[in-house]
Amino acid sequence: MKTYIVIHHSATPDGRVFRNFDAILKDHLARGWRDIGYHWIVEYANNELIAIPGRNENDVAAGCKGRNVDGIHICVVGNFQEGVPTDEQYRFVAQLCRGIKCRHPILEIGGHRDYDATLCPGENFDMDLLRELVKGDDDLLQDVKVAVKGKEIVGKLIDNKAYVPVRELVEALNYKVVWDENDRSVTIK
């Protein structure tokens, strides 16, 4: 079970093209690993931030002793020992973390340095800021409008899936939602 998110930096400048992932993969394979060590790599491609999947989220990582089995590892391309992450990078990584938290019972988000003797993800990477953005208000989630039988329902877009309030959806379909307090269940009639 994955209960941690571990943040890394590549300690290299971002080339702003889709090649940093390949360089990290090549390095990890040269170490004798079977794949890239991280589950996600965040980098710029054509001047736009993207999240590139590495290992399957349920696979054991190769990124931080003591957190490889129970952690999902995200590597942000950049050197945050020398530079400072942009607001865009913090918000992008926070949104990625929120998506991960929808799929796994995450208890903690930490930097590699929080679990091992390293400076990673760099002393300029503000883990407290990232944690606040992850648990902050819903401004990181994109609004989405869903039309149901002529009625517009506002929901949120998470991992390219639209989520809308159940009651509004059901009522738009002319059904009723019945809440049973005894067994704490919802019935749609």
Q: Give the span between the Cα atoms of 118 and 51, in whole angstroms.
A: 24
- CATH superfamily assigned to domain 4-139: Peptidoglycan recognition protein-like (3.40.80.10)
> Where exactly are the structural domains of the chain?
4-139, 142-188
What are 130-168's pLDDT values in tens digits?
A: 999 998 755 556 778 888 888 898 887 766 677 888 778
Counting as low any pLDDT under 70, the low residues of the chain are 15-19, 137-141, 158-160
- What are 111's strand-pairing partners? 7
Which residues, other chains included, contact 153 with Cβ-Cβ below 8 Å and sequence gap of 6+? 145, 146, 147, 164, 165, 168, 169, 172
Residue keyed to tokens 């918000």: 91
